[in-house]
Amino acid sequence: MVESVVSQMDNGFTAAEKDAVYRAIRERRDVRAGYLPQPLEEATLQRLLAAAHHAPSVGFMQPWRFIVVRDLAIRSSVHDIFARARAAAAQTYSGERADLYAQLKLEALLEAPQHLCVVCDRTSERGHRLGRNTMLETSDYSVVCAIQNLWLAARAEGVGVGWVSILDPPAVKQLLRIPPAAEMVAYLCLGYVEKFAEAPDLLRYGWEERAGLASVVRAETYDQSYPFDRGSR
Amino acid sequence: MVESVVSQMDNGFTAAEKDAVYRAIRERRDVRAGYLPQPLEEATLQRLLAAAHHAPSVGFMQPWRFIVVRDLAIRSSVHDIFARARAAAAQTYSGERADLYAQLKLEALLEAPQHLCVVCDRTSERGHRLGRNTMLETSDYSVVCAIQNLWLAARAEGVGVGWVSILDPPAVKQLLRIPPAAEMVAYLCLGYVEKFAEAPDLLRYGWEERAGLASVVRAETYDQSYPFDRGSR
């Protein structure tokens, strides 16, 4: 009986705990509108950063660096960089697709009271190159794992996150004094929101359909479809 | 009263739900030993794949592809690729670090009853390049978000995940018939485990220390430390 309890401590999530994890995954959204003006409570922000810092990393390198941006002048400058990148991208579409692109709200850089620029310090010697000899890009991937940890924790906290990639990375790096050898992996808007949308914006506005699960899973090799209809094995 | 209930449906996680999300984040491990021989139940595996498929993606591109590998001959061939990459990496260390490297258990490719090779289809036209004009790498990053979703869901299910990056990606791509233009983002071991370690392997075995949160957070620009000691704002 004692052993059974110990085993549950080590391993088992209750059904309610499992549901909560799946709920965060299912209800997480990329939030580009509806941010509230009040800044995040410091304790909340630090819990989110700690969640990110608990991500897996290649060689235990922990190469992520988080720049918390609250200054309105900096936020406005980032918005300027976005606006130029958006205008350039708009030129690449035509017809109905161009009309749709023009209507999309793609960021909330001025509304969200804080941003998070997420950087990979590729030059860090932490981790002693373990796992990076043949796949150097895994340090960037570790940083993305940290972002997804933060994103899910934020959903549970009622905090919206919006990833803005319509940016010129060299311009942002110069603005935020990020060294040339470091990689800007992501630029996030962060803030309380009134509600989370039931479906992704790009689905609701007709930019793209949702792919079926069967279309992305393969069996044994890339060219063989997965037998979802075969039932339990 | 009704509005308050609606608002809670839209937004609020209970304290217990929040704790469950943070628990999954805190107790997730990179598992390289202790896999049990029984294969994953099909329904469990499909819940994990669905969790991955619910990740955010640039332009709603959903560029992830998952190859479920169970065939022992393929698993053995991947293990051979690992063994060669490990031997080559071992040559790059000397002294105590070389001794420590030789002792680390870094994968469980033969013990874990199934693998998951996670691929980015960079050539997919889904998403119509939204968000990728200036940051083409964001499609790979979307795939990593999917991996982290799966990793956290797996922890809640009592399923271990181990990311193996000591591999020669071109060799794995040839073995699994992955097209040249697609990127192998990750190769994962997957399976039930008896227990999860209390701390990361590389910390327990002395490969690397845990970095403090203060060392990875900056204020406004990359060169300014974050005032953690200032208390709440």
The pLDDT of residue B9 is above 70: no
CATH of the domain at B47: 3.40.109.10
pLDDT of residue B233: 43
By residue range, what is the domain housing residue B104? 31-205
Residue A5 lies in a domain: no
- The minimal CB distance from A131 to the residues B53, B126, B165 is found for B165
Contacts of B221 in chain A (CB under 8 A): 67, 74, 176-177
pLDDT of residue B231: 52
Q: Which of these, B220, B219, B200, lies nearest to B209 by C-alpha position? A: B200
Residue B86 lies in a domain: yes
What is the C-alpha separation between A181 and A120, in angstroms, rounded? 9
Dump pLDDT digits (tens) for B41-58: 999 999 999 999 999 999
Residue B2 lies in a domain: no
Total structural domains within chain A: 1
Q: Between chains, do A167 and B23 touch, taking CB under 8 Å as contact?
A: no
Residue A6 lies in a domain: no
Dump pLDDT digits (tens) for A160-193: 999 999 999 999 999 999 999 999 999 999 999 9
Nearest C-alpha in B relative to A202: B60
pLDDT of residue A229: 78
Contacts of A140 in chain B (CB under 8 A): 137, 141
Residue B84 lies in a domain: yes
pLDDT of residue A29: 97
Strand-strand pairing, B159-163 and B183-192: antiparallel
Chain-wide mean pLDDT for chain A?
93
pLDDT of residue A164: 98
Give the pTM. 0.94
The pLDDT of residue A92 is above 60: yes
Residue B140 lies in a domain: yes
Dump pLDDT digits (tens) for B147-171: 999 999 999 999 999 999 999 999 9
pLDDT of residue B7: 40
Q: Which of these, A82, A80, A220, lies nearest to B114 by C-alpha position? A: A220
pLDDT of residue A230: 64
Residue A217 lies in a domain: yes
Residue A131 lies in a domain: yes
The pLDDT of residue B6 is above 50: no
The pLDDT of residue B4 is above 90: no
Contacts of A193 in chain B (CB under 8 A): 11
Q: What are the Cα distances from residue B142, in Å, to A215, B5, B51?
A: 17, 34, 13
The DSSP call for residue B59 is G
Q: What are the Cα distances from residue A133, in Å, to A53, A60, A137, A182, B165?
A: 23, 14, 10, 18, 9
How far does the CA of residue B24 sit from the closest CA of chain A (Å)? 7
